[in-house]
Amino acid sequence: MTYRAPLEEISLTLTHMVGADALAGTELFAEATVETRDAILTEAAKLAEEVLAPLNRVGDLDPCRIENGVVRLPKGFVEGFAAIRDGGWMGLTAEPRWGGMGLPHAFFTAFNEMTSSACLALALGPLLTIGKIEALQEHAPDWVRDLYIPKLASGEWTGVMDLTEPGAGSDVGALRLRAEPAGDGTYRLHGQKIFITWGDHDAAENVCHLVLGRIAGAPDGVRGVSMFLCPKFIPEADGTLGPRNAMRAIGLEHKMGLHGSPTCVMEFDGAAAWLIGGENRGLMAMFSMMNAARLGVGVQGVGVAEAALQAAEAYAQARRQGRTPVGDGHGPIADHADVRRMLTTMRARTMAARAICFACATALDFARAAPEAERAGWAARAGLLTPIAKAFGTDVGCEVASLGIQVHGGMGYVEETGVAQFYRDVRVTPIYEGANGVQAMDLVGRKLAQHGAAPHAMLDEIAAFAAQARSGAGAELAARLDAARAQVLAATDWMIAAKGNDRHAGATPFLRAWALLLGGYFLFKGAEAAPKLMPLASFFIRQELPQAAAHLAAATEGAGALYPEIETEDAADSAAA
Amino acid sequence: MTYRAPLEEISLTLTHMVGADALAGTELFAEATVETRDAILTEAAKLAEEVLAPLNRVGDLDPCRIENGVVRLPKGFVEGFAAIRDGGWMGLTAEPRWGGMGLPHAFFTAFNEMTSSACLALALGPLLTIGKIEALQEHAPDWVRDLYIPKLASGEWTGVMDLTEPGAGSDVGALRLRAEPAGDGTYRLHGQKIFITWGDHDAAENVCHLVLGRIAGAPDGVRGVSMFLCPKFIPEADGTLGPRNAMRAIGLEHKMGLHGSPTCVMEFDGAAAWLIGGENRGLMAMFSMMNAARLGVGVQGVGVAEAALQAAEAYAQARRQGRTPVGDGHGPIADHADVRRMLTTMRARTMAARAICFACATALDFARAAPEAERAGWAARAGLLTPIAKAFGTDVGCEVASLGIQVHGGMGYVEETGVAQFYRDVRVTPIYEGANGVQAMDLVGRKLAQHGAAPHAMLDEIAAFAAQARSGAGAELAARLDAARAQVLAATDWMIAAKGNDRHAGATPFLRAWALLLGGYFLFKGAEAAPKLMPLASFFIRQELPQAAAHLAAATEGAGALYPEIETEDAADSAAA
C-alpha cells in the first residue's frame, strides 16, 4: 500500500474550485504564487510519501507509553517529527517577524491533508502547534509572542490545547480547573484535564499548553473562563529552558485507533501559568483559533479518505475475481459495476469534502488579506464553511474508510492489510475538536446570524454559477444543482424562522444537505474548467446530491417528533427558546 | 454496560409485524405457541444476559491462539459454549427424529439476535453448527444424518463451512481445492481454505467441515463444484471418535474485531471426506443453506445494533452536559435534540432491520409448514427478503454502532467503554457470508425472476395495507408509505427491463430503498397494533423513508456513469448482457 500525494487534484481544487490563486494578488500573500505553491507542495508530498507514510503502521502496532513520567512516542516518530521540524513546516503560516514563512492557510491545508493521509497520528502534533501559534499571534502579550512563537515556528517546542475535563467536554462552561493568582501577575493551576492530544511526548524539548481554567471568584459558565499559557519547562527570557513546571501526564488513553498519538490525562499541581487574552476572556481567545482547528480536523478526514481511496483503487485494480462486464471479461474487480460504484462514491465524496475544506481555508486567508471592506464577508464565509468542513470532512473520512474495507472484502478486515487502521484512526475525527453535532448546532445557530447573510451570499453565488452554466453543455446538471440550491434556501429560511430546539433537532441533516450542495457546486465548477472532472461532477450531482432533499425533509420536521413523551411542541421549546 | 434482552420488542415484532403467531396453526409447528415461545425466549435472554454478555470483552482482550496445533478459544469461551450446548440450543430447529426440538426458524432468529448482542464472537460457533445441521438434513445420505446430526444438535460436535480460498471469495466458481476419489466411495481432500470461522477450537470434541471442492476432471466454474463432509476426527459407526483426519488449522487471522472468534487458515492434506449432495452439485447444496446463513448474519447486525443502542441510551441517560431544552434544563444529554436524533435513528433502524429479518425467518418457516400450494410463494418471499435482511441488517449494525460511539463522545473512542468493540466486531458482517454487494446482485438478479413475481407480491401487500391504513388515524403516514411503494415499484420494473450491468450498477442503492420501504411498512404495521410504537414508525416514515427516493434515483442511472472511459453504454453491457 503506497500513498501518493494527489498533487494534481489538490492543485485543481485550489485553482479552479475555490479560487485560491487570487491570494497572490493580495499584499499579504504576494509571495504565495502558484509556482511557490507547487514547489512547496511537491516538497510536502515527498515528506508525506517517503518519511511519514512508512511510520503509519509502526505507530499503530507500537502505541505511545509512559516511561518514568515521560511520554514516549512510537519507534520512528521522533525522527518523523524531526523531519517535519527541519523542513520548516511548523512555521508555514506563522508571521515572518517570528520566523515563520507567512504563507496562506490554503497551502497549510494541503500540507495537512497530505500528512494526515500519510500518518494521521504523527500529523496531529504539528497541527496543534500551528493552531497554538495562531492563538498566540492574536491574543498573547508581546513578550510571550517574542519568546514563544519563534520556538514553536521552528519546531523546537510544540503547542497543545487543554480544554476537556471529565465533566466538561462539549460544554466548555462547565470546566472547573482552578487558577490562583500568585501575586506577581502569574497564576498557579490546579486540576485535571483529559483527552489532551500530544499533551506530552519526547519529540521536542518543551510542550507549551494553552489551558482553559477558572480564576477564583470568576462567574459561572463560559463567562468565567480564562486562558493560560503553561509550559512544561518554564523558559528563561533568552529562550533557554528553566525549571520543570508542576504539571505532568499521569495517564494515556487506550483508544480504538490513533495509537501513535498520545492522548494524555494531564495533572496540574500548582503549575505556573500566564494569562492570555484577559481575565474571563478565555472563550474569546479559544473561539478565534477554533475555525482553523476545526477546519484542520475536517482536513484530517479528507486526508484519511484519500489514503483509503488510494488503497482501495490499488487493490481493486490488482484483484481478479469473477467475470467482469467490460473488455474480455478477465479484468480486475474494479471493472465490476458495484465495485465501481463504491470507488466512484469514495472519490466523489473525497473530492467534495476536499473542495469544501479548501474553500474554507481560502476564505480564512482572504479574511486577513482582502481589502478592508471585504474582510467581514470573507470571515463570514469562512465561519459558515467551518462547521460544514469539519463535520462533512470527518464523516466522509469515516464513510470512505468503511467503503475501502468493503472493496477489500475479507482482506479489509485483516489488520495486516492496513485499511482497517484507517477505519479505526479516522473514527475519532467526528468527535474531537467539537463533536459533529456541536458543529451542526453552530451552523444552525451563530452561522445563521444576521438573518442568514452568510448562507444567503453563498447561495447567491451558487445561483449565479448555475444560471451561467445553464446555457452551456452542462445545462441539465446546472438545473439539478439550482433545484437543490432552492431547496437548501427554503430550509435555511425555515431554520432562521424556527425556534431554538426545532433548529437543533434538524441541525445534523441540515448540515449534510448543505455539504452536498456545496460539493456539487465546487465539483461542477472544477469540471467546467477541467473537463476530465465532468464524469465525477455528474455522478455527484445526479447520484449523491438527491440525498439533500431527504436530509432537508428530516431537517425541517421540528423537535416534536424527537420528544414523543411531551404532548405539545411548545413544551419542548419552553427552555430552549 | 449491561445488556438486557429486548423481549418485548422481539415479541411485538414477531406477533404484530411479521405474523409469526400463525406458525402454531400449522401441523409442523403446532407446538410453537406464543406461550412456548415466551418461555423459550425468556431462557435465551437469561443465557445471553448472564452467561454470554460478560464474556464479550474478555474475548476481545484475549484473542484465540494456536497452541501445539490446536486452536484455543479465549478464557471462559469453552464454558460459555458449554452453557449453550447444555441448554439444548444447538438443536432448537433440528428435526426431532435426530434429537432436535423442531421449532421454527423465527424462534432461532430471536435466539441468534440475543446471543449476537451479548457476545458475537461466541454466538458465531453455534450459528454455523445450526446451518450445518440444516444442510445435512436436506442433502446428506441417511447414514450421515443418523450419525452426525444428533451429535451436532446436542452440541457435542460443531459444524463449519469451508468455502473461501485465496483466489475464490465472492466467485465460488474459481475454487480449486482438489478432491481425489479414494476408490472406496470416499474422497481425499488436498488444498487450502481461508477465512474459516470457527474452523478449529477447543470447545467441542469434534469439528465437522462441509468443504467445497472440485473432483478431478470436473467442469470449470460453479458447475464443477462438489460438497464434502470432512470431520476433524473420523467417527466410528456408533459415534465414538476414531482417527484424527489429515487437516488442521495452520494459522489464525489477526482481525480488527471478533478476536474471540477463531478465523482459520485450514490445510487439507489428503483428508478423508464424504460427498454430500452428489457430484458437481455442491453449489446446489450450498445454496439451500445460504438463505438461512445469510439471514443469520443479518440478524447478527441487528444484535450488535441493539447492544450498541442500549449502551448509548444508558450513557445518554446518565451523562449530564450543558443546559437541556426540556424540563428544568438539568436533564441528561438524552434530552438534547441532536442526541435524541441519534438515539431515535439508532432505534428506528434497529427495529426496521429486526422486522425485515424476522419476516424473512417467518417466511422460511412457512415455506416448510404452509399448505403445499402456498409454499412456493413463501419461499419466494423468503428469497426476496434474504439479501435485504443480510445487507440492511449488517449495514444498520455498522451505522448504529458508529452512532453509538458518537453519542459517547470521546469516551466512545476509548476501548474500556466497550462500544468501540461493537464498531470493530460488527464491521465484518457486511463482508462475510456473501459481501453486501453480492447480496445486491442477488436481489436484482435471481430475486427479480419470473417477471418480478416475488417483489410484486410484496408490494401488493404493502399497497393493501396502505389502502386500509389510509382511512385511519395514520392517513398521512399511509399516503407517504404508499408513495414510496409506488417509487420502489417503478424502479423494480425498471430493473426487470434493464440489461445486466445496468442492474448491477444500481443494485446497492436499490436494495437500500427496498429496505427502507419494508422497514416503514413493518414499523407502521406494528404501530397500528401497538400504538406506543407510532412515534417511532412516524419518525421512520417521515425522516428515514424519504432517502428511498434518492437511492432510487441513483439505482436507475444505469452503468454508463460508472464507466466514463467507455463511450457508449452498449460497450459496458457487451459482456454482461
Nearest CA in chain A to B253: A414
Give the model's pLDDT for residue A171: 87
The answer to whether the Cα torsion of A102, A107, A113, A114 is positive or negative is negative
pTM: 0.97
What average pLDDT does the segment A493-511 reach? 97
A contacts of B428 (beta carbons < 8 Å): 410, 413
| Active site positions of B, annotated | 433
Partner residue opposite B398 with nearest CB, options A402, A424, A561 = A402
Distance CA A306, CA A321 (A): 25
- Other Cβ atoms within 10 Å of A487 Cβ, number: 17
Residue B350 reports pLDDT greater than 60: yes
Distance CA A345, CA B145 (A): 48
With residue B212 as reference, give the H or E element that holds it. Answer: strand B206-215
* Helices B436-444 and B500-529, axial angle in degrees (round to 10): 90
Give the model's pLDDT for residue B117: 98
The answer to whether the Cα torsion of B131, B137, B140, B143 is positive or negative is positive
- Mean pLDDT in chain B? 95
User: Do B546 and A546 count as a contact with CB atoms less than 8 A apart?
Assistant: no
User: Do B413 and A398 count as a contact with CB atoms less than 8 A apart?
Assistant: no
For residue B391 the three cell numbers come to 445487507
Distance from CA of A230 to the nearest CA of B (A): 24
Nearest CA in chain A to B419: A256
A contacts of B538 (beta carbons < 8 Å): 561
Residue A127 reports pLDDT greater than 60: yes
Residue B576 reports pLDDT greater than 50: no
A contacts of B542 (beta carbons < 8 Å): 553-554, 557, 561
Nearest CA in chain A to B408: A431
Distance from CA of A409 to the nearest CA of B (A): 6
User: Do B255 and A338 count as a contact with CB atoms less than 8 A apart?
Assistant: no
| Cβ pairs bridging A and B (under 8 Å) | 241
Tens of pLDDT along B439-454?
A: 999 999 999 999 999 9
Give the model's pLDDT for residue A567: 57
Tens of pLDDT along B54-69?
A: 999 999 999 999 998 8
Rg (CA), chain A: 24
What average pLDDT does the segment A509-532 reach? 97
A contacts of B543 (beta carbons < 8 Å): 509, 553-554, 557, 561
Question: Of A159, A439, A394, A503, nearest to A291 (Cα)?
Answer: A439
Distance CA B247, CA B192 (A): 9
Distance from CA of B409 to the nearest CA of A (A): 6
Residue A568 reports pLDDT greater than 50: no
DSSP letter for A414, please: B
Mutate to test the interface with A, among B390, B413, B501, B543 (most CBs of A within 10 A): B413
Read off the pLDDT band of B508 (50, 70, 90): very high
A contacts of B410 (beta carbons < 8 Å): 164, 169, 194-195, 428, 431-432
For residue B283 the three cell numbers come to 453449489
Tens of pLDDT along A152-202?
A: 999 999 999 999 998 888 888 899 999 999 999 999 999 999 999 999 999
Tens of pLDDT along B546-570?
A: 999 999 999 999 999 999 988 544 4
| DSSP 3-state of A372 | helix
Mutate to test the interface with B, among A323, A396, A543 (most CBs of B within 10 A): A543
User: Do B340 and A427 count as a contact with CB atoms less than 8 A apart?
Assistant: no
Question: Of A448, A261, A553, A514, nearest to B547 (Cα)?
Answer: A553
Distance from CA of B255 to the nearest CA of A (A): 4
Distance CA B188, CA B178 (A): 8
Distance from CA of A184 to the nearest CA of B (A): 35
Partner residue opposite A326 with nearest CB, options B253, B542, B563 = B563
Distance from CA of A161 to the nearest CA of B (A): 16
Tens of pLDDT along A33-60?
A: 999 999 999 999 999 999 999 999 999 9
Give the model's pLDDT for residue B577: 38
What average pLDDT does the segment A126-146 reach? 94
Give the model's pLDDT for residue A435: 97
Nearest CA in chain A to B569: A326
Tens of pLDDT along B295-343?
A: 999 999 999 999 999 999 999 999 999 899 998 999 999 999 999 999 9
Tens of pLDDT along B81-126?
A: 999 999 999 999 999 999 999 999 999 999 999 999 999 999 999 9
What average pLDDT does the segment A5-13 reach? 98
Nearest CA in chain A to B546: A550
Report yes or no: A125 and A208 within 8 Å, Cβ to Cβ: no
Share above pLDDT 70 across residues of chain B, in percent, rounded to a whole number: 98
Give the model's pLDDT for residue A571: 43
| Active site positions of A, annotated | 433
A contacts of B508 (beta carbons < 8 Å): 338, 341
Residue A570 reports pLDDT greater than 80: no
Give the model's pLDDT for residue A575: 41
Distance CA A271, CA A198 (A): 18
